Amino acid sequence: MVDKGIIERKLKANNYKLTPQRRAIIDALFEHRGRFIAAGEIHSKTLSRHSGTDFSTVYRNLEILEKMGIIHKTNIRGGAAVYELICDHSHHHHIICKGCGKTEIISACPLEHLMEDVEDKGFTVIDHKFELYGYCSKCYNKR
């Protein structure tokens, strides 16, 4: 399980300071642990704690956190990016409702059986993501 101290140490190890804005962004992500959160919502929460934080600061920090493997980024509902703190879950994937954006975790990995074939082709997989898109029962019944 990842805690804020681990994230702070990773940032310092990669020569990043824990600025007040960065701390507010991390706090917003922790408030939504186990769920996706949009950059706009992160920006709003950051502004409430540290006024004057612009949107580009939020995006730059989200990019840094993603590259460091602290958050996972995916696109839902018309391509809008959302972010998930990587902390409480073992390896997992998502099913995402195209209507309301509801997201559920899929614990089984359908890609595991492909790994031997991938390795036979001379590749080493370091990461992957698998997302299914459809409609939750509520949205499906509205159609």
Contacts of 70 (CB under 8 A, 6+ apart): 2, 7, 10, 85, 86
Give tens-digit pLDDT for 39-77.
999 999 999 888 889 999 999 999 999 998 888 888 776
pTM over 0.75: no
User: In the CATH hierarchy, which top-level class contains the domain 1-89?
Assistant: mainly alpha
Three-state secondary structure of 82-129: EEEECCCCCCCEEEEECCCCCEEEECCCCCHHHHHHHHHCCCCCCCCC
Q: Which of 97, 102, 101, 105 is nearest to 130 (CA)?
A: 105
The predicted pLDDT at position 78 comes to 64
The predicted pLDDT at position 90 comes to 62
Domain residues of the chain, as ranges?
1-89, 90-143
End-to-end Cα distance, the chain: 40
Homologous superfamily (CATH) of 90-143 is Ferric-uptake regulator, C-terminal dimerisarion domain (3.30.1490.190)
Q: How many helices (H) and strands (E) does the chain have?
A: 6, 6
The predicted pLDDT at position 50 comes to 83
Give tens-digit pLDDT for 101-143.
787 877 777 777 788 888 899 998 877 777 888 899 999 998 8
